[in-house]
């Protein structure tokens, strides 16, 4: 469905020279520096394949999607797409604040290439997916930013092209809506659509994609199974990755903030000890707070939940000011693979005070826990259990 051959894009750094600069020094004014945002990239995507594109900021991921979406032309090489393609590069582009949600659905749908009849047929489903039915005839300038984003993604999610080019759409909305969005893309994949998905969320890439491409400095650094490419991206010695952006995104006026999260050791495997240190700062004295740590697998299934709530036998009477709390796991009961860690601070009979979803990614190394010579990978389940067998033949 997609064939990329020697694709490259070069940009000039700096703006156009001013008339004054041309008059003062024509030669100097016309000189400029160029950079290659993408260089000599080649790969093939088969029909129905879901490919994740990962890499650091500035690696060339969004440039690649813009070239594939025909938003900009390549400097060298070519990209051939077979079938109708839709690019979800900036969710919400074309929304007008003075128009109602209903009017913006029609406007945004038209921008994305949907016919009026197609929009009318899908309108109820779009509104239901976004969860804004009550406010659909209200100008979107009165929507919260989350409501606008949900409606924008709902329109884009109901496109029916053969090829979907998706850039970071899961970075928007709350955790429940992100999971719904991921599910929608999974449905598109099962319907046989070809998807190229750019994201910094390694758990989403691992959950949705069977294959991943790693870009570094505009070059193709790795191409293969998602788990192995994600491992190469996170680094062979860095099995623990803390997402500082999730930590920084907390509300400034919350009664308690998580200042930092640290996980040791940096390389961890099945059966190893693990410590999670949570640095906090309480703006006011808090009675009986509860700290909750959860681990999810690549399918989003919660496999571990540990907390300081009464069920654990550990109770915190009161905290105030700054401090930290440590969670010690003597033997990590998970087989090798990728997992995400989330944490929350709660209080009895009060809503959650702080929730950091997918604040860390753990790449757990497979170990021969039973001494059988076999590494315990995810193909052998999620939770290894200490056990023994006994055989009793009949006489």
**Full 3-state SS string of the chain:** CEEEEEEEEEEEECCCCCHHHHHHCHHHHHCCEEEEEEEEEEEEECCCCEEEEECCCCCCHHHHHHHHCCCCCCCEEEEEECCCEEEECCCCCCCCCCCEHHHHHHHHHHHCCCCHHHHHHHHHHHHHHHCCHHHCCCEHHHCCHHHHHHHHHHHHHCCCCCEEEEECHHHCCCHHHHHHHHHHHHHHHHCCCEEEEECCCHHHHHHHCCEEEEEECCEEEEEEEHHHHHHHHHCCCCCEEECHHHHHCCCCCCCEEEEEEEEECCCCECCCCEEEEEEEEEEEEEECCEEEEEEECCCCCEEEEEECCHHHCCCCCEEEEEEEEEEEECCCCCCEEEEEEEEEEEECCEEEEEEEEEEEEEEEECCCCCCCCCCCEHHHCCCCCCCCCCCCCCC
> Does domain 88-159 bear CATH number 1.10.3470?
no
Question: Partners of 86 in the beta sheet?
Answer: 164
Residue labelled with tokens 């990590």: 332
Joined together, the tokens standing for residue 239 give 């099995």
Equal CATH topology for 1-84+161-166+183-234 and 240-380: no
Quote the pTM value. Answer: 0.60
Which pLDDT value is given to residue 32? Answer: 67
Which pLDDT value is given to residue 237? Answer: 45
Which pLDDT value is given to residue 80? Answer: 93
Closest CA to 366 of 376, 354, 378, 356: 376
| CATH for the stretch 240-380 | 2.70.50.60
Q: Structural domain boundaries of the chain?
A: 1-84+161-166+183-234, 88-159, 240-380
Which pLDDT value is given to residue 193? Answer: 84
By the 8 A CB rule, do 199 and 206 touch?
Answer: no
Contacts of range 329-333, beta carbons closer than 8 Å, 24 or more positions apart:
329/273, 329/274, 329/275, 329/276, 330/273, 331/271, 331/272, 331/273, 332/268, 332/269, 332/270, 332/271, 332/272, 332/273, 332/274, 332/364, 333/271, 333/304, 333/383, 333/384, 333/385
First to last CA, the chain: 63
Half-sphere exposure at residue 13, Cβ-oriented, CA atoms within 13 angstroms = 6
Which pLDDT value is given to residue 218? Answer: 92
What's domain 1-84+161-166+183-234's superfamily in CATH? P-loop containing nucleotide triphosphate hydrolases (3.40.50.300)
Closest CA to 220 of 34, 13, 30, 38: 38
Which pLDDT value is given to residue 64? Answer: 93
Tens-digit pLDDT profile for the chain (395 aa)? 899 999 999 987 766 666 776 677 766 655 667 889 999 999 999 988 889 999 888 889 989 998 998 888 999 999 999 887 877 776 566 688 899 999 999 998 888 778 899 999 999 999 998 888 999 999 998 988 778 878 887 887 787 778 888 887 555 556 667 667 777 777 777 778 888 988 877 767 877 788 999 999 999 999 988 877 877 776 544 578 888 888 888 887 888 999 999 999 988 888 899 999 999 999 889 888 899 999 998 767 889 999 887 666 788 888 989 999 999 999 998 988 888 899 999 887 667 888 998 899 888 887 888 887 777 776 677 888 878 888 889 87
Q: Other CB atoms closer than 10 Å to residue 358's CB: what's the count?
A: 19
Which pLDDT value is given to residue 150? Answer: 81
């Amino acid at each position: 469905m997609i064939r990329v051959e020697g694709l490259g894009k070069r940009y000039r750094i700096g703006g156009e020279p001013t008339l004054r600069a041309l008059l003062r020094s024509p030669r100097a004014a016309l000189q400029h520096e160029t950079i290659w945002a993408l260089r000599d990239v080649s790969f093939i995507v088969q029909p129905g394949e879901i490919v994740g594109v990962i890499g650091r900021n500035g690696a060339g991921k969004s440039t690649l999607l813009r070239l594939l979406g025909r938003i900009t032309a390549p400097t060298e090489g070519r990209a051939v797409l077979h079938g109708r393609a839709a690019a979800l590069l900036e969710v919400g582009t074309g929304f007008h604040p003075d128009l109602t949600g209903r009017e913006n659905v029609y406007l945004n749908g038209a921008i994305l290439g949907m016919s009026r009849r197609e929009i009318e047929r899908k309108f109820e489903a779009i509104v239901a997916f976004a969860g804004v039915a009550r406010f659909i005839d209200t100008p979107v300038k009165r929507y919260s930013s989350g409501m606008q984003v949900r409606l924008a993604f709902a329109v884009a999610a109901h496109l029916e092209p053969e090829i979907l080019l998706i850039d970071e759409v899961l970075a928007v909305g709350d955790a429940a809506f992100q999971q719904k969005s991921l599910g929608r893309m999974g449905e598109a994949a099962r319907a046989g659509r070809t998807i190229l998905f750019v994201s910094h969320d390694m758990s989403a890439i691992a959950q949705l994609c069977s294959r991943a491409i790693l870009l570094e400095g505009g070059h193709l650094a790795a191409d293969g199974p998602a788990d192995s490419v994600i491992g190469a991206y996170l680094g062979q010695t860095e099995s623990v990755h803390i997402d500082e952006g999730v930590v920084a995104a907390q509300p400034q006026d919350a009664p308690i903030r998580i200042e930092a999260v640290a996980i040791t050791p940096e390389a961890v495997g099945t059966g190893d000890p693990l410590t999670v240190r949570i640095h906090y700062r309480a703006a006011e004295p808090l009675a009986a707070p509860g700290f909750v740590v959860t681990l999810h697998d690549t399918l989003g299934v919660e496999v571990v939940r540990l907390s300081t709530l009464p069920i654990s036998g550990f109770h915190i009477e009161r905290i105030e000011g700054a401090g930290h709390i440590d969670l010690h796991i003597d033997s990590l009961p998970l087989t090798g693979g990728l997992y995400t860690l989330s944490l929350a601070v709660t209080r009895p009979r009060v809503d959650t005070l702080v929730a950091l979803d997918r604040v860390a990614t753990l790449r757990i190394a497979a170990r021969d826990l039973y001494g059988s010579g076999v590494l315990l990978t995810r193909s052998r389940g999620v939770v290894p259990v200490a056990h023994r067998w006994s055989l009793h033949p009949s006489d």
